[in-house]
Chains A and B, each alone.
Chain A
Amino acid sequence: MEALIHQIVAKYNYWLYIILMMIGLYAMIAKNNLIKKLVGMNIFQTAIILFYVSIGVKKGATIPILEEHGAGMGEHAVRVADYINPLPHVLMLTAIVVSVSTFGVALALAVKIYQQYKTLEEDEILMRLREK
């Protein structure tokens, strides 16, 4: 039991991202309203961004702006443990752009659907489609 609690507390960031991801996935599967599904999709993507951000973090490290480097640091130019890893964060800038544009395209599609059917409830739209 103690080991389990330790697992959860020590790696809370991973648990959080999994919980967020499942919330998003649940909304995408279970919700009837297309906008709610879209929000679920966005939560899903955000969860992955959180995951990436948290893997770059190091305990006691600071932002990767070098204070001193080169001479007097021994054989390493930079002490790696002092700075967090910026690469996953930079990758996530791209992923944020991707998720924003996906959201934009999806919203545009939702607008088109609304113009056609005057509703965003999926069951009503499917009923309308079946009638035809």
Chain B
Amino acid sequence: MSQHYPVLLVTVPLLSAFIISGLSWVKKSLCYPLALLALGTSVFCAIGLLLRVLDAGAVEYHLGGWVPPWGIAYRVDLLNGLVLVVVSSVAFVNLFATHKTVQKDFPEKMGIFYTLYVLFATGLMGITVTGDVFNLYVLLEIASLTAYALIALGKPDRAPLASLNYVFIGTIGACFYLLGIGYLYIMTGSLNMADIASLLPPIYHSKAVLVAFIFCMVGVLIKMGFFPLHVWLPNAYSCAPEPSSSLIAPLMTKVMVYVMIRLIFSVFLPDFSFHVLHIDHALVWLACLAIIMGSLLALAQKNIKRTLTYIIVSEIGYMVGGVWLGNRLGMSGAILHILNDAIMTLCLFLAVGNIAYRLKGLELQDLKGLFRKMPVTMAGFVAGGLSVIGIPPTCGFFSKWYLISGAIQAGQYGFMAALLFSSLVNVVLFFRIIEIAYFEPMESLHGAASGHGIRQEAPLSMLVPLLFVAISLVVVGIYSGTIVNHLIIPVLPKGIG
């Protein structure tokens, strides 16, 4: 049984998605338990897989028994083992947390929503687990197409337009990636990552390989919303309904960062990315720009959901910059930050989801007196905020520590300065929100809505996941040394100094 974990991880939710869409015609109330079951199986498989990889090294699964490079291979090492656990658990926790909102906001579309939800998770887990570059493209499109639909479920005046813009830009990104694969195929005649990696080194100086690298990277950078290519991200994520945005925002961008790392580590190899090409400095500077602009734009927003989307833009800068620092500390920081950023983004978006469940608007002035109204939710929000700022012992501190140490080791003081600057901006950002929510007197409309009792917390089924995520922020922070030593350092390729 356990040798089939890599494929069960993907096929169980994939088939369940079809069953859910069928069930939505017959019995709507069964859709949610089935989605829970499907994603629960994925979490179980992902954790089992990670433990097995820790125990016995990388696992390779040949679909249909076809040996690579002819067949499609799923390959799990520590790096994607970790990402798989993150993706499946975030999807699972968020599914649990947002059920009440789904029931309240679009009860008639519940079947469709859960179908798309499970398909989206399938796509992301497939991207993570696969060892075939074309398979990755197909699963990327599955994830993107479902993301477009999930976003379009939002408010009818803005969400379809935001989603359509995402379709345009996302398609360009995926097509660029596909073109890059085409050039790789011309040069090597293979689509298997390990096979391509073994065939590439003698032709590193070929122009076609360079073109392939550029197309793949630009495609992936578009999909992750790296700064100059980020324009689709804030609109798409802030117009999406809360249950979708707290699923897509923590996962999509992080998985794309994983794809970039995978391309560097296992397809083009670090030797090509860092020694043959000399673009690492340029990309680190672009990442600085992403961090600074993301933070400043976040500061300019008046809606907390939009603020959070711009924070994601700057966090993407952290990870891309960390990877392109090209040393062990920076890379460890970037990979650790995939884990941490997924958790803290989930924490913040879940808190926003709870706020939106009780409040009409998410503008800053709507938040007045919110600490008295929703103390537990706001505690979760503050925990997420502290982690984004980077205050120990929350996990955000530790990845930032690794990134800054990496920047100093690489002599990239600009990147260090950008990280510190963004931390400062985040302090201003979150304390402004906390100040409004804590000190400003409550508006009369809040009191009127709830009668005499001011306290009006979100339902328990939304609070428990939020608190769970907030506590895991601290737990992951405390154990980050262990995570880095056992899960991250072993996956770093040898060519990195």
Contact = CB atoms under 8 A, between A and B. Distances in A.
A113 interface: yes
A15 B183 CA distance: 15
Given A52-B182, A129-B158, A44 B171 contact: yes
Contact of B172 (A44, A51, A52, A91): A44
Nearest to B157: A116
A37 B168 contact: yes
A128 to B, nearest CB: 9
A95 B164 contact: no
B145 A116 contact: no
Most buried by B among A98, A106, A112: A98
Nearest to A114: B160
B141 A102 contact: yes
A94 B186 CA distance: 18
A28 B186 CA distance: 28
Nearest to A112: B160
Interface stretch (B93-101, B148-156, B247-255): B148-156
Interface residues of B, number: 25
A109 B145 contact: no
B172 A28 contact: yes
Contact of A105 (B134, B148, B174, B182): B148
Contacts of B175: 44-45, 48
A101 B145 contact: yes
Given A48-B179, A51-B182, A102-B145, A125 B161 contact: yes
A87 B132 CA distance: 14
A48 B164 CA distance: 21
B167 interface: yes
Interface centre among B156, B160, B174, B175 (most CB of A within 10 A): B175
B474 interface: no
A108 B168 CA distance: 14
A109 B167 contact: yes
A98 B138 contact: yes
Contacts of B156: 112, 115-116
A34 interface: yes
B292 to A, nearest CB: 27
A116 B186 contact: no
B185 interface: yes
Contact of B164 (A98, A101, A110, A132): A110
Contacts of A22: none
B178 interface: yes
A95 B145 contact: no
B238 interface: no
Interface string A110-132: 10110110000000010001001
B157 A105 contact: no
Interface in A65-108: 87-88, 91, 94-95, 98, 101-102, 105-106, 108
A41 to B, nearest CB: 6
Nearest to B170: A102
B245 interface: no
A109 B178 contact: no
Contacts of A57: none
Specify which of A48, A105, A108, A109 lies most central, judged by the most chain B CB atoms within 10 Å of its CB.
Answer: A109
A23 interface: no
Nearest to B169: A28
A94 B182 contact: no
A61 B168 CA distance: 38
A95 B163 CA distance: 21
A113 B164 CA distance: 9
Interface string A8-45: 00000000000000000100100000100100010011
* A51, A113, A115 pick with most chain B CB within 10 angstroms: A113
Contact of A112 (B152, B168, B172, B179): B152
Contacts of A55: 182, 185-186
A17 to B, nearest CB: 9
B149 A105 contact: yes
Contacts of A132: 157
Given A55-B182, A88-B185, A116 B160 contact: yes
A102 B171 contact: yes
Contacts of B160: 109, 112-113, 116
B214 to A, nearest CB: 15
Nearest to A28: B168
Given A48-B175, A112-B152, A105 B145 contact: yes
A32 to B, nearest CB: 13
B222 to A, nearest CB: 13
Contacts of A88: 182, 185
Q: Would you list the 5 A-B pairs with minimal beta carbon distance, nearest first?
A: A112-B160, A109-B164, A98-B141, A109-B160, A106-B167
8 contacts: A41-B171, A45-B171, A48-B175, A48-B178, A55-B185, A105-B145, A109-B148, A116-B157
Interface of A: 25, 28, 34, 37, 41, 44-45, 48, 51-52, 55, 87-88, 91, 94-95, 98, 101-102, 105-106, 108-110, 112-113, 115-116, 125, 129, 132
